[in-house]
Amino acid sequence: MTATTVEGTASPGRQSHRTPLRWGRVLTVARTDLRQLAQARDFWMPMTFLGALFYAIVPAVLLTTIGRIGSVEVIARVSGALEMLPETARSQIRGDSAAGQTGYALAVFLFAPMAVIVPLTISTAVGAATLVGERERGTGEFLAHSPAAAREIYLGKLIASLVPGYGTVAIGFGVYSLIVNVTVGPEVGGWFFPTAQWWVMILWVLPPFLAICLSLVLRLSARVSSTAAAQQASGLVSLPLIGIAYSQATGVLMGAGWLPLWMGAGAWAVALISLARGMRAVTRSRLLGVGPGL
């Protein structure tokens, strides 16, 4: 008779469902995704153009035109439109001339959507392809067999999707600041941008909206069967979110007191819940392409 034994030590009893989160692995996944993205010229070239269009080309053309326009009548008509702004916003407008006031209002209040549309678009495009892309390339199998926990993979992918979007904001914000200060600054008594509200929007309000959007997009990316399907579904998810983020951003810029901070806090609460729920969408079976619905 021959007995059989199991090599190693049997695990005693039911263990904790969770293993400690290893940030080293999270950052490894993120870094590798970003490295691949850097190699994908067909992706980052159009995205760079998108950022340049919204943060540099359109503002530079419009603000320069307003500043150099000769017709007093046209300026008066445009500055008349500023009457539609809320009182809190109108009280902040600087500048003695109609051209200066118009340029200031455009720079501070009306270009708010740029700060929202660009990062959401870029991060959505990256996030939509990230998990389904692993499956399509067959590399999901490598990750599924690796020691990395599913939530480490999820967080790595999240960071890799956030960085391009938010990185574009950081660079774009700097370029935009330079443009508006150079074009409008002389009319309103010197460099004035970024204003306090813009700092709040960029540092406090925009990040949670990016996180909400990405948590939904990554969830979709984990569940759909192709990158094309992920892109389409992500577009449907991100469009209303862009609308909400736009209105919130505008409210932050035009609002006063604690309102912007409260709006940001609300967005963060929703983002954290959404991220936690999204984490469950990434499973090893989905990385293999055999999960439910795949």
Partner 1 sequence: MTGIRPFTVLLDRVSRSFGGQPAVAELSFGAPAGAITAMLGPNGAGKTTALRLITGALDPDGGAVRVFGLDPGRPADGEAVRARCGVVTAKPSLYDRLSGLDNLRYAAQLYGLGRGNDVDRRLRAAAAQFGIDEALSQAVGGYSTGMKTRLALARAVAHDPELLLLDEPTSGLDPESAAAVLDLVRAMTSSGRTVLLCTHLLAEADGLADEVVVLERGTAVATGSPAVLAAGYWPHPQVRFVAERPADLDRLATWPGVVGYQREQDRSVVDLDDAGRVADLVMGLSRDGVRLKAVEPHRPTLEDLYFAIQASRRTASSAPTPAQAPAPKSAPARAPAGAETPLDPPVEVGR
Hey, which residues between 5 and 24 contact partner 1 (CB under 8 A)? Answer: 5-11, 14-19, 24
Window of 119-127, 212-220, 247-255, 285-293 that interacts with partner 1 by CB under 8 A = 285-293
Tell me the number of residues near partner 1 by CB under 8 A.
43
Q: Binder to partner 1 among 75, 118, 149, 211 (CB under 8 A)?
A: 149
Listed residue (239, 244, 175) closest to 205, CA to CA: 244
For partner 1, give the closer residue by CB, 2 or 91. 2
171/175 Cα distance (integer angstroms): 6
The CB-of-21 to partner 1 minimum distance in angstroms stands at 11
Among 23, 142, 199, 262, binds partner 1 (CB under 8 A): 142
Tokens 């009182």 locate to: 87
**In the structure encoding, which two tokens stand for residue 199, read together?**
């700092």
- Binding of residue 64 to partner 1 (CB under 8 A): no
| Tokens coding 226 | 């192709």
225 binds partner 1 (CB under 8 A): no
C-alpha dihedral over 222, 223, 225, 229, to 10 degrees? Answer: -90
Q: How far is the CB of 138 from partner 1 (least distance, A)?
A: 4
Residue 144 touches partner 1, criterion: CB under 8 A: yes
Q: Is 287 exposed, middle or buried (0-12, 13-18, 19+ CB in 10 A)?
A: buried
Question: What DSSP letter does each residue of 85-151 carry, written as one string?
Answer: S-HHHHTT---SSHHHHHHHHIIIIITHHHHHHHHHHHHHHHHHHHHHHHHHHTHHHHHHHSS--HH
Give the shortest CB-155-to-partner 1 separation in angstroms: 14
Q: Which residues bind partner 1 (CB under 8 A)?
A: 1-11, 14-19, 24-25, 28-29, 32, 35-36, 39-40, 137-142, 144-149, 284-285, 287-288, 290
